[in-house]
Chain A
């Protein structure tokens, strides 16, 4: 319990020194990882049974040679592609948004620094420290958030592309 309170206090202090933007960055990163997790679970869990069903229904078809069969095959692959690619654009946009949000935090922090300068009329490093920490911490957090998502999103994209190609190879037309 004490540990939890300590952790909450430390987090709150971190958020206070980083400002409001840090909260948004944290939220975006959290959402991004939630989506990434959901994707992983889909690719390695639900999609396998889906693919098996798909292959079964294709192989149980009587004829795989007509125009109809070709169109149905295309539709099947397309449906699988839609399922594999859903949420990926959101993960990508969040990866792109993290550094932007970090930049936003940097600029608001700089504004604070210059406001302090405008009010006190001095370049006292101590009075500017709060603004400087608000400028640098979100940048760092944004970078960390983006970098943590980049690898996962690249992996998921390649995986989706490869799975679609595999399906195309396996759903063969008879000639």
Chain B
């Protein structure tokens, strides 16, 4: 190191050397210094040789020691393995039938945890499934044994569920009503089947442990029985319960109501309903005017003086207007007068008839357009999703229903009005002459 320093310092000096002689001198000096250094190094290596041999020997002995140790540990590990196998054999032998018991315990705990979570009994007695979950996990790990207390607790919980299923119990709880607000209410639990409050069926949400009123209640027959059950304190009451523990009632919420179904009919549906309303209005007007006309004609039948306010009277007036004509002419005049009255009696009836025929046709039109939409959906999305197709098909069928719903009463109304008007016409056509003849005979 020192030699290097010397060399560099001489090199530094060389920069200052300005002539060749001094440079040569310097080179010679440098070479000699290097030779000296090499010799020194050689001596040093020779001195250290014995030391190196010693270190090598030391390390070899070290390695041999470690190899021995690893061999020893390996045999020990094998021995331990055999011991462990023997011990676990003994364990399983000694557990014997108990092992099966723990398996059953795990299964029961797991099953009943699930059952408790969804059971409506949990609305009244919460947090029962946590212990069961813990129990099932412990039994599954097989490192811990179940204590007598744990096993008894499983029994007690199962027994409690069973007892509660056979009970009708009342308690107060928070209930989420239709508006979304929480109110305290007296809740009635019928076994593990239904929860009711204020005569309305409730649904139980196991995730949040909350009760909420079903937004759509079943028909009055069932809600009435619920109200009856809540109001009575003793005795036997009829009650409609959901044996699935709320899933049927849950489906009820999803089913569309009448208004939504009518809306499914779309534009064609509204056209049908509009036409139906028109028919109804016309029929109402016709019904009233035919009633009035019929009453007036009936009064005219009893009255000998012909009046101007009814068709029969106007027809009978013809006889008075032409007192001295021949019978042939009189008959012509009478039929002429009857023809004048006919449009007033049969007015708009054809329109009702047309509507009663057109309404089912419109329904068919809606069905076909709905089916076209369904098939377009199938072209776009394939037949994979039955929900997609079913929606379109039920829309298509709604228009058919609307068509029939309009057509059936319209046909009935048409028959009703037609019979009435035909009877009035019969009186005019076939009897007016007869009535005139009878009166003229009596007068004669």
By a beta-carbon cutoff of 8 Å, the part of chain A in contact with chain B is 67-69, 71-79, 81-82, 86, 89-90, 92-93, 96-97, 100-101, 103-104, 107-108, 110-111, 114-115, 117-123
Contact = CB atoms under 8 A, between A and B. Distances in A.
B404 A117 contact: no
Contacts of B90: none
B401 A104 contact: yes
A108 B438 contact: no
Contacts of A97: 408, 411-412
A100 B412 CA distance: 12
Interface stretch (B46-54, B273-281, B387-395): B387-395
Counting contact residues on chain B (CB < 8 A from A), the size range is: 35 or more
A107 B404 contact: yes
Contacts of A89: 415, 418-419
A100 B408 contact: yes
A118 B400 CA distance: 19
A78 B433 contact: no
A112 B295 CA distance: 47
Interface in B254-313: 254-256, 261
A100 B426 contact: no
A72 B437 contact: yes
Contacts of A111: 261, 394, 397-398, 401
B397 A107 contact: yes
Given A78-B431, A93-B411, A114-B397, 11 more contacts: A73-B434, A75-B433, A75-B434, A77-B430, A78-B426, A89-B419, A90-B419, A97-B412, A111-B261, A117-B387, A118-B387
15 contacts: A75-B438, A76-B434, A82-B423, A82-B426, A86-B419, A86-B423, A89-B418, A89-B419, A90-B415, A93-B411, A97-B412, A107-B400, A115-B255, A115-B390, A121-B386
B286 to A, nearest CB: 16
A166 to B, nearest CB: 17
Interface in B375-428: 385-387, 390-391, 393-394, 397-398, 400-401, 404-405, 407-408, 411-412, 415-416, 418-419, 423, 426-427
Nearest to B407: A100
A96 B433 CA distance: 36
Nearest to B254: A119
A74 B385 CA distance: 71
Nearest to B444: A68
Nearest to A68: B437
B434 A72 contact: yes
A79 B431 contact: yes
A144 to B, nearest CB: 18
Nearest to B334: A71
Nearest to B255: A115
B434 A74 contact: yes
B394 A115 contact: yes
Contacts of A92: 415
Contacts of B398: 111
Contact of A74 (B405, B416, B433): B433
A79 B255 CA distance: 56
Contacts of B256: 115
A10 B415 CA distance: 35
Contacts of B400: 107
A51 B337 CA distance: 31
A102 B94 CA distance: 73
A-B pairs, top 5 by smallest CB distance, nearest first, are A75-B434, A78-B430, A68-B437, A117-B390, A71-B437
A101 B404 CA distance: 8
B433 A114 contact: no
A68 B440 contact: yes
Contacts of B390: 114-115, 117-118
Nearest to B394: A114
B367 to A, nearest CB: 9
B327 interface: yes
A153 to B, nearest CB: 13
B297 to A, nearest CB: 13
